[in-house]
Structure 1
């Protein structure tokens, strides 16, 4: 008898109880709730030969992007590879994709998951892994189109349809298809109120459109659905961005202190990324953040030379230069030199293209060498997607460039950059404040006053 999961996909060497346990763990992964890794590990302790269980565990570990997790990923993958003769074709393809990922061939892994999805378009795990990898790699087109390619096989009768819509909503938003993105995201949340990823997708739409009050209302109205999820840190960060745009800095610092500032030494990089990204934005805007950098830099320092993921490296560098840890900052740059000289994997390319230059620019900025920071960042500003993350996350590069131009007296450039921002998001008070400073720097006090008035009017 062939055992299948809830989407009619065959599962090797399993019984219905094992499949149910796997689906329960996957539901946790989809909703960012509970402990899916612990859940599947408990299943595998009792049934170590469960092929799809080992695949699922290894799949979870691919998303950590941390050196400390890598040995467990490799160990789990080797167990899955040893079980490959018992696996079916779909499962073997999963194993091949995870092997490519573990070897640093992130693009190859995504290609293998994509080929799997052509044949098995209802494999929600493959879709989720490929989509999250697209985000890690900054592949904005496929964040949308990879989901679109499997839509023909889905409807509301297929379990997990709402989660698929949530992934699609985010991909649509990253491609500025805002209306359809919001429709899909809200529909996903209506189907699964605790779908934190879909809630986040709608939040992205509102941030991208400069709908600050609407974004605050959306996040607060859904707070009970996401505030206790494993994605809460990132969603608190999103909420803080709306307040930051409105110059409600007390609220931003309150969110940081209550929800992002942690003395936990577990080393969860996803949490520390959000904390560093928020503090650096405050730093750029001239807000005194007190001693908050020290605690965060203490958490990043043990992994300063990991060079596993460029996106992590730049956020680590923010903490080191902001806290004046110049020796550690040099260690990061030296590690980049060694790594990019010796390696040729996907992350090495990300580091060369964006990670390493941005780290150098961050150091120059903190040393008040603003012209140097501008000269480093200006040539890479249209390649920043290769750092990974979202448009909202990568906007920190544009903000750093603009602020460096302002502080360095490059006011014509600053005005051009501010003009670009106000055209893209004209309802952003922060963008108009940037424009006002650029006008004033050029000596055009009339235009500066007009831009300041626009910013005040948008506070509503």
Structure 2
């Protein structure tokens, strides 16, 4: 009976296959290398290895892409065929739930695994990822806290636990402890891109742009090459420069790194849409060439409708590119998703995705009062939509700009007060405050 480094039984494994599996898993923890290729090599040599199939399924599901579902289901079937232990069967159940769009059920199955196997880092990481995709700030922290007593610095993978804890603490507003945990994880494993990004999130939320630029640039050798989170970490650097009004640098980062590789990975395209929309809100012309290229990259996914967070960022690219045809198709997809009775994305689409899409279309059409009316109630429930606080700030930025253009200076002043409390040095927050104060004084 073969057991992994944490004493967990692995049905169908051999010593060599297990070593390859743990290497692929280590790559996944850091988002480095090519864990899919690594685990497929393992499977080719040992096709009866249940957890190898489970890992492959989880990897294809982790990107929230419709294109990966068929492959994931193939791996789920093989993991079910070869799985013998209760832990392996629960991994199958969790993966099947994700493939069906039952994100909440999957989260519970990962919890079930961790209750008896707190060292199952694959269950912890997948649960953590889908807490993030569901916007569950509390559980991003608490899922890690529930297993933390079983861990210590001598166990392999401790850096990954600390990195996930750091992000959970940051999303819960515990910035000091989040930064400490993230820095500790990076000290243990400098290539841990998730831990690096957790510290960047702390600095973003606190408006520490100088620290953020230094943290990101000093660590480029660790996260920028051969890393699945490279684009996202370039995005974080772009946000620091954007908050300092360094727009030329933002566009340079966009051209060289965020869209330099013309990635068609959904998570990368989300970051690209988010950068261009923030520039668009400032009235800055990013150029039709950039918008059109991004819209074309998104166009093949316009009918997927499996995760509304993705759909909104696709819609943003279509708005920027002036692609009315694709905008209408994306709205149809969101309406279909909202009406669907299967899976958790239906509620996401109905409660947040579709109303937010309608608000963005109103903004593009110059209907700013309608935009404000639609966005104000959404900001309090936006967590149900998924993503991080930094990502969902796109909603608040759109709201304050719509309020300014509509002449609703009382709302502009109130929203700028929120931003300035958290980011007192933010130039854009200061400008919104001055616009509101000047306009109200003139009145």
Aligned to 1:178: 175
TM-score (normalizing by structure 1): 0.94
The two structures, once aligned, show a CA RMSD in angstroms of 1.3
Q: Distance in 2 between matches of 1:182 and 1:412?
A: 35
* Aligned residues of 1:260 and 1:274 also touching (Cα < 8 A): yes
The answer (yes or no) to whether the contact 1:263–1:295 under 8 Å persists in 2 is no
Match of 2:434 among 430, 433, 436: 436
Q: Is the 8 A contact 2:338 2:345 kept in 1?
A: no
Question: Residue in 2 aligned with 1:88?
Answer: 85
State the SS of the aligned residue for 1:156.
Answer: coil
Q: 1:444 to 1:218 in 2, by over 3 A?
A: farther
1:140 aligns with 2:134: no
In 2, distance between residues paired with 1:338 and 1:120? 39
What secondary structure sits across from 2:357 in the alignment? helix
CA shift at 1:174, angstroms? 0.5
**Structure 1 gap ranges (5+):** 446-460
Q: Secondary structure at the match of 1:289?
A: coil
Partner of 1:255: 253
How far has the Cα of 1:342 moved from its partner? 2.9
Deviations 1:51-110 (A, max 9, x none): 1100110111111211111111111111212223xx211111111111111121101101
- CA apart distance, 1:17: 0.8
Q: Is the aligned partner of 1:105 residue 2:102?
A: yes
Alignment correspondent of 1:454? none
The answer on whether the counterparts of 2:145 and 2:165 sit within 8 Å (CA) in structure 1 is yes
CA distance in 2, matches of 1:54, 1:66: 18
Alignment-derived partner of residue 390 in structure 1? 388
| Pairwise CA distance, 1:267 | 2.4
Give the 5 Å matches for 1:184-199: 184-199=181-196
Distance in 2, Cα, partners of 1:29 & 1:282: 32
State the shift of 1:290 in Å. 1.1
Alpha-carbon separation, structure 2, partners of 1:27 and 1:437: 50
Which position in structure 1 is the counterpart of 2:401?
403
The worse-fitting range, judged by mean Cα deviation, of 429-438 and 311-320 is 429-438
Aligned to 2:281: 284
Q: Distance in 1 between matches of 2:61 and 2:421?
A: 38
CA contact (8 A) 1:59 1:129 kept: yes
Q: Is the 8 A contact 2:64 2:307 kept in 1?
A: yes
Instruction: Please give the secondary structure, in 1, of the residue aligned with 2:300.
Output: helix
Aligned with residue 320 of structure 1, among 291, 298, 318 = 318
Contact 2:338 2:348 in 1 (8 A): no
Output aligned runs, 1:307-456, within 5 Å: 307-443=305-441
Is 2:175 the partner of 1:154? no
Moved more, 334-343 or 157-166: 334-343
Worse-superposed segment, 422-431 or 183-192: 422-431
Q: Deviation per CA, 1:162-214: give whole Å up to 9, x if none.
A: 11000000000011101100110111010001111111111111111111001
Name the residue aligned to 1:124.
Answer: 121
Q: Deviation string for 1:315-347 (max 9, x for gaps)? A: 001011111111211111122222322334211
8 Å contact from structure 1 (residues 305, 331) kept in 2 = yes
- The 3 A distance-change label for structure 1 pair 355 and 93 is same
- CA drift at 1:444: 5.0
